[in-house]
Structure 1
Amino acid sequence: MPGPQPPTQDSATVVRWAAFSCVLVPVVLLWYGSSLAGAAGTALSLAAVTAACRILLRQSELGAARLLDEESAPHRGRHHRPESGARGGGHHSGGNTPVG
């Protein structure tokens, strides 16, 4: 079974743009006369939000990869054998069908 897949190119691009924004926004704030403390606070806030989003994005990608692995793997019974027969989900005759 292959391990977790690396992040896709799209998510890496999103993270790069977010990091760029963490630098650009404080520079623009300073350029337009904001205080150094205000720009630094904004930079830290943006960095925290970017880090949280990156973690969530990574967890989402790993969950999707895990789901794809589970869907492509054959279903196995309790003792790691393919399910078959009466105990493993085979056809049952009679059952709950109405008679009439």
Structure 2
Amino acid sequence: MPTPPGPSSEQSRDAVSDPAGDGVRWAVFGGLLVPAVLVVYGTSVGNATVSALGLASVTAVCRLLLRRSERATLRAAEGAQRSGR
């Protein structure tokens, strides 16, 4: 009986969770949704644009900090493996 082929590297990458990426995607979605809701409920387009720019800047900074933290965690894990801990 033939054995099924193992998962390809592409499938295994898709199966791995990326919590930081998921958070950033939700933040982008919220950053687009909030100004639209503001306009629908009567806020001026200018104010909605300012809020969108504010949300975009906060999202960008959070993404930067998350990626930086992930790199630091990976470096710490590699260092612990090298030192035999």
Q: Same fold (TM over 0.5)?
A: yes
1:1-38 deviations in Å (ceiling 9; x for gaps): xxxxxxx5111110100000110000000010000000
User: After TM superposition, what 4+ stretches of structure 1 lie above 4 angstroms from structure 2?
Assistant: none
**Number of the residue aligned with 2:20:** 11
1:37 aligns with 2:42: no
1:50 aligns with 2:59: yes
Report the aligned-residue RMSD. Answer: 1.1
Identity of aligned residues (%): 43
Query: 5+ residue gaps in structure 1?
Result: 1-7, 76-100
**Number of the residue aligned with 1:63:** 72
Please give the alpha-carbon distance, in whole angstroms, between the structure 1 residues aligned to 2:83 and 2:45. 59
Query: 5+ residue gaps in structure 2?
Result: 1-16
| Higher relative contact order, chain-length normalized (CA < 8 Å, sep 6+) | 2
Structure in which a larger fraction of residues adopt helix:
2
Larger Rg: 1
